[in-house]
Structure 1
Amino acid sequence: MSSRKPFVALAAAETFSISGTRLSTIAVPWLVLSTTGSAALTGVVVFTEMLPYVLAKALGGPLIDRLGPKRVAITCDSASVLAVVLVPVLHALGLLRFGLLVAIVFVMGLLRGPSDAAKSSMVPDIAEIAAVPLERVTGVAGMIERLGSTVGAALAGVLVSWIGPSQALGVNAATFALAALIVQFGIPALRERGASATEPEPSSYGQELREGWQFLRRDAVLVGIVVMVATTNLLDQAWSAVLLPVWIKDGGHGAGLLGMMFAVFAAFSIGGSAVAAMLGERLPRLPVYAVAFLICGLPRFAVYALDVPVAGVVVTLAAGGFASGFINPILGAVIFERIPKPLMGRVSSLNTALCWALIPFGGLVGGLLVTGLGVSWAMLVVGLAYFVTTLAPLVRKSFREFGTPQRSGAPEAADVVPAA
């Protein structure tokens, strides 16, 4: 018998988890800036959290398959409560030193990676339990990600101004605790995927990790997704972290305009995700995916390079945000359908980690381009690079199977297409 309760529980847990994560991404850098005044040290702290996050997500897949995603999510979120709450406690006692903060932030990233990967890998099982199309679940997940990011950022701004950055992290700890409780009591025990009849003998951690990597690299569709998304994530980070703030500052505008532009993009992205959740299973995947990337790509950069008035920029961001809302639901459905359940944790977490791998370098690329070319030319160069990248679904053979649903949950080994 189908049940929607696990679906609702996962959505609620993701909302709290993502909102708390976005809160910490603002509160932690602001804490460093307010206590040290150093932008360089702030960058060190941000990188220190992101690096273990990506690595733990890539390497934690076998643990998710062995222990089950529910157990990993609860354990990591519960441990995150203890790690995060150390910051306001030590700061209140006057014991928080920079080196200690770096260590705590490292642990935060180390725990957050497997937790996020575990919740994500639950999606196919939750869709099956709820008897809901996979595209609808991934659409709701995409909508929650954007909603959580928006709410978390807004909440961070209010709390940091009201009670201070270290105390705001106490709220972050509470969001992790709520997420752990919701997963514990709202989601049924999911089968430990490693206990497969085809694997009578337990394999080593290294063998399981290697098996996930080998499956990923042999699937041409997954390889194409990783290459394309990793590149666009790099370019998106250059835009959000450097290019857009510099353009706004050089134009004599304030931080309010920066926040408004991010809010417009995020708000319309939520709307796009909502539509994708309702109609996703009926939409032609490859054309929608390709067109969505083209709309949210080059135009978003060209309007700045061409000095389009602010009103035109806002309209372009609204259109791009709405289009972007269709991307992750389609990507999620394709990825989850192509991965066998016994390999879900190790392959999906590795896939996501590789897609995130270039994000830490986005700010560096943006800074170098602005320094060498100026912000207008930098916008144009990044926009053209984005455009070339978004043509991949139309020209690469590896995307030919992109639009073919794999309703069995994943292709059999004989159906895996060699990487192009």
Structure 2
Amino acid sequence: MTAVLTERRTVRRSVRGLVGVLAANASAWSATRLMSIALPWFVLSATGSATSTGIVAFAQTAPYVVVQLLAGPLIDRVGPRRVSIVCDLIATAALATVPLLYLLDTLPLWALAVLVAVAGAADGPSNVAKAVFVPTVAKQARVPLERVAGLTGAIERTATIIGPAIAGVVIAYFGGVHALWMAAALLAVGALIVGVTLPDPPAERELGESYLKRFREGARFLRDEGLLRSITGMTAMTNMLDQAFMAVLLPVWAKQAGHGPETIGLVVSVFAATSIVASLAAAAIGDRLPRRAVYLIGITVGGVPRFAALALGLPLPAVLAVFALGGLGSGFVNPIIGAVIYERVPAGLLGRVKTLTSAVGWSGIPFGGLLGGGVIALAGLSGAMWIVGGVYLLAIVLPGLHDEWTR
């Protein structure tokens, strides 16, 4: 009887860690997605200036990328739990200060930019720190890495839908300033969840090593791992092309085809909804599927046909069908890639490698809009779709040429 009770307690403890990771990520991602709508609307409503809105957006995203890139050695040295909690609380304080100063009528633009820069700088390391828990909680819960990665992917995609929806309702009924209160509260909840449910994963930490030495170790590991290096390069390229598609190509298509912004929202929502279904399917059966084949099929179906559908001028029902199919393919990709990364990176290097891969993956996004506009200017909308789609296909095939998808 004692052995049975002990086993049950062990299972309960391990499941608690998994639930903690999922809940903390849900809270943090919902806050981030909510803020992505609430903050620009708040700035635009308060200032009436698109330029000011752009300045504040840059002030938030630039520190996110830079600090995330540099935070890896710190995460591996002091542990993801402390980094996640402290960074979430810093972001909470910064975001909560914005509406407070605004209500007191003491919020100049420079102060707003500084506060959102602090929030962005804290958000990057916090997101990666939560990801570092994944291998440990998967092992404790006795579930495959693909399952945990699939569940986190489904939660992230769900937050992408729910966060903006919550922001829209709150902004409509209470104003943008109150949506920022809600984002701050969600980040605080995320910090509380991590503090209550997640101890630091066991890892060897060489406290005597310098920051630069630890940073170089992470960069050297990524450089020497051919598959991870290829995946990271692919992510940077496809993120830039996705941004070109979302920021320029898709809106131009909608306008030229006689559609409005509601059509853009419908197309994106269909893609996101089916990708959630696919992420849940990947969580259930992903560990039993051949990784390389799933990656190649999923990312090809998820990334390429949409360019062809819009280039060919297909009617809206056909476009929606293509995007629905694309979401199904896309939803299988991140769980597979996540499992590969978690499996191949030693626990003591995971923070450094994850911050590097994430920062490099984000590096092309600021240039996506410029690329989309430039290609349309040179080749027109249809030509731009074929060109960007062709480059996309080339970028996603290269990682599939590696043999070491499974260890």
TM-score in terms of structure 1 length: 0.91
Equivalent position to 1:92, from 92, 100, 103: 103
- 5+ long unaligned stretches in structure 1: 406-420
Secondary structure, counterpart of 1:4 in structure 2: helix
What is the distance in 1 between the residues matched to 2:90 and 2:396?
39
Q: Confirm whether residue 104 of structure 1 aligns to residue 110 of structure 2.
A: no
- Find the aligned partners of 1:208 and 1:18 in 2 and give their Cα distance: 28
Match of 1:343 in 2: 349
1:398-417 per-residue CA deviation (whole Å, 9 max, x = no partner) reads: x2102x13xxxxxxxxxxxx
Structure 2 CA distance for aligned equivalents of residues 317 and 141 of structure 1: 22
Measure how far apart 1:47 and its partner are: 2.3
> Are 1:82 and 2:88 an aligned pair?
no
The counterpart of 1:239, out of the listed 245, 252, 256, is 245
Match of residue 254 from structure 2: 248
Equivalence map 1:37-52=2 (5 Å): 37-52=48-63
Q: Which residue of 2 aligns with 1:417?
A: none
Q: Distance in 1 between matches of 2:220 and 2:396?
A: 26
Which residue of the partner structure matches residue 195 of structure 2? 184
Q: CA deviation at 1:63?
A: 0.9
1:327 to 321, 333, 337: 333
List 4+ stretches of structure 1 deviating above 6 A. none
Q: Deviations over 1:17-47 (max 9, x none)?
A: 0011001111111222223333333233222
Give the 3-state SS of the residue equivalent to 1:253 in structure 2. coil
Are 1:210 and 2:213 matched, yes or no? no
Distance 2:181 2:118 in 1: 16
Q: Residue 181 of structure 2 aligns to which amino acid in structure 1?
A: G
> 2:134 aligned with 1:123, yes or no?
yes
Distance 1:35 1:366, change over 3 A: farther
Cα distance in 1, alignment partners of residues 396 and 88 from structure 2 = 35
1:18 matched to 2:29? The reply is yes
Contact kept, 8 Å, 1:9 with 1:186, in 2: the verdict is yes
* Structure 1 residues 378 and 363: CA distance shift in structure 2, 3 A: same
Q: CA deviation at 1:385?
A: 1.3
| Contact 2:24–2:190 (Cα < 8 Å) also in 1 | yes
Question: Could you list the per-position Cα deviations for residues 120-173 of structure 1 after superposition, in whole angstroms to 9, with x for gaps in the alignment?
Answer: 111011111111111111111111110111111211122222222222110000
Query: 1:367-392, CA deviations, whole angstroms, 9 ceiling, x for partnerless residues?
Result: 22233333332222211111121221
Letter in 1 for 2:285: L
- What residue in structure 2 maps to residue 309 of structure 1? 315
Measured in 1, the distance between the counterparts of 2:216 and 2:40 equals 36
Note the 1:248-267 alignment, pairs <5 A: 248-267=254-273
Which stretch shows the higher mean deviation, 308-317 or 381-390? 381-390
> Is 2:145 aligned against 1:142?
no
Which sections of structure 2, spanning at least 5 residues, go unmatched?
1-9
Which AA in structure 2 matches 1:157? G
Q: What is the Cα-based RMSD across aligned positions, in Å?
A: 1.4
Pair 1:260–1:7, CA change in 2 (3 A): same
Q: 1:225 aligns with which of 231, 253, 256?
A: 231
For 1:165 and 1:194, how far apart are their aligned partners in 2?
Answer: 45
Find the counterpart in structure 1 of residue 376 from structure 2. Answer: 370
Q: Which amino acid aligns with 1:374?
A: G
Report the equivalent of 1:32: 43
- Compared with structure 1, are the counterparts of its residues 50 and 277 closer, same or farther at alpha carbon in structure 2 (3 Å cutoff)? same
Cα shift at 1:298:
1.7
Which residue matches 2:73? 62
Q: CA contact under 8 A between 1:296 and 1:324: conserved in structure 2? A: yes
- Tell me the alpha carbon deviations over residues 180-201 of structure 1, each in whole angstroms, 9 at most, x when there is no partner: 111111223433x343xxx4x6
Which TM-score applies when normalising by structure 2? 0.94
Structure with the largest fraction of helix: 2
- Indicate if the aligned counterparts of 1:140 and 1:277 stay in contact, CA closer than 8 A: yes
Give the share of equivalent positions with the same residue, in percent.
46
Moved more, 322-331 or 236-245: 236-245
Task: Tell me the amino acid that sits aligned with residue 356 of structure 1.
Answer: W
